[in-house]
A and B are shown apart, each in its own frame.
Chain A
């Protein structure tokens, strides 16, 4: 019945064929690639865009990143849909390794969590240095608080702070406690729109461009440490995992070169992530033919 295809339908087919061309180029350009699940904080802050190109150039391996909260990122890795995890919740990461999904966890870098809120500061927490105390004040004032609510590393950190405060915010969910169920940026957008407080990593906060009425309220003292780790998905469990190329990426990340790239990422002159890989692993990775090529 499609023998009698006339101009309209021929045009559709022609268009489809024309648009096929760029895609074949796209898929062929990245012959050698690995897929890494990482979190919104490393992506939204611009860190990945800053550090990945120098690895890709030196190693000839493209790094494709799937950006999701730590909870979903770990689920992607458990199912074997990515080659490595680059996330920030050490407890979940260690459990991931213990359960045999990953080979070994490496510390990569850290920054800290901060609490931001409306300039009017209805709960009066500005300048405090204890986050648990600050959350108690927010709860007492019934001031709006936006939670990630997405099982991300930041969400897990927030829940553990609430747990330390002895308050269960769940019972106020939908009232002053708002669970957005989305990424850090979306949660900050909402906090800005409804004059709410929010917990965020410092890197995303610094690079977030819709701050508007939001201000930095609290930076913990001692800091609320936000530790990032990287793990290779266990090739014994998922044989299609590109173990060699992925290990190359991990070795680079924890080498002097990768660590310097992380330290060199700044926003308005301020360093956002602080490399802290174990000293013993800082030799240049053998998988990169010419480690000085960049």
Chain B
């Protein structure tokens, strides 16, 4: 119990004395997870919308796979990316292993299915509502895709936040492909795992509280922007 209460004190003093090491770790965590989420949204949203609007054989299977991949185990994704980027793997010559780029790739693979699957559902629901209108305007699937993605932008923010939440919280994948190298690939979650293994439970929990605080701040910011924009457009 004493660990639990002292963690709050430690967290508070860490934030107050914001030292360079902690700031570096926080910024690197944010940078990697935001970039991964950004790329996942750029790929996942059009992919999800296309799956909702185009009809082709095997579509149901792909949608089912996408839904299943929302629960991809991070440690398995990490292992696959590791084997691809390892010097003895197919992409070894690129020398990307144990770099922040490798961590972005792994997190992208975790976030993309989530964003794509949630986009697919959102756009499919909207399409049901607007199908006739769109058809009467003579809009093809490509045009419908643009219209519906734009129309569903407020719900789609939730899909993006879900993707970000997933990657900013995971430790399994970034630990394997990043290597938790101090000042190079050490992020919040790998630091928490490291401090736990050293037995510094209060410090580990304090870092966890900061991570949760960051996640809450980011979500609130995104939500308030969405609400402002929503009022502006309606």
Contacts and interface: CB of A to CB of B under 8 A. Distances in A.
Contacts of B155: none
Interface residues of A, number: 43
Interface stretch (A133-141, A185-193, A245-253, A265-273): A185-193
Interface stretch (B96-104, B113-121, B132-140): B96-104
Contacts of B150: 1, 4
Interface string B142-171: 000110011001000100100000000000
Given A8-B157, A81-B87, A240-B87, A189 B31 contact: no
B181 A186 contact: no
Contact of B87 (A7, A29, A30, A80): A80
B212 to A, nearest CB: 19
B229 A26 contact: no
B198 A44 contact: yes
A186 B98 contact: no
B181 to A, nearest CB: 5
A234 interface: no
A22 B24 contact: yes
B30 interface: yes
B189 interface: no
B126 to A, nearest CB: 15
Nearest to B85: A81
B196 A186 contact: yes
B100 A16 contact: no
Interface in B168-188: 179-184
B92 to A, nearest CB: 7
Contacts of A80: 86-88, 92
Given A8-B225, A13-B38, A15-B34, A66 B98 contact: yes
Contacts of A65: 181-182
Contacts of A8: 153, 157, 222, 225-226, 229
Contacts of A186: 196-197
Interface of B: 24, 27-28, 30-32, 34-35, 37-38, 41-42, 46, 86-89, 92-93, 95, 97-100, 145-146, 149-150, 153, 157, 160, 179-184, 196-201, 222, 225-226, 229
Interface of A: 1-2, 4, 6-8, 11-13, 15-16, 19-20, 22-23, 26-27, 29-30, 35, 40, 44, 64-67, 79-81, 182-186, 188-189, 207-211, 238, 240
5 contacts: A1-B150, A20-B31, A40-B197, A81-B98, A209-B199
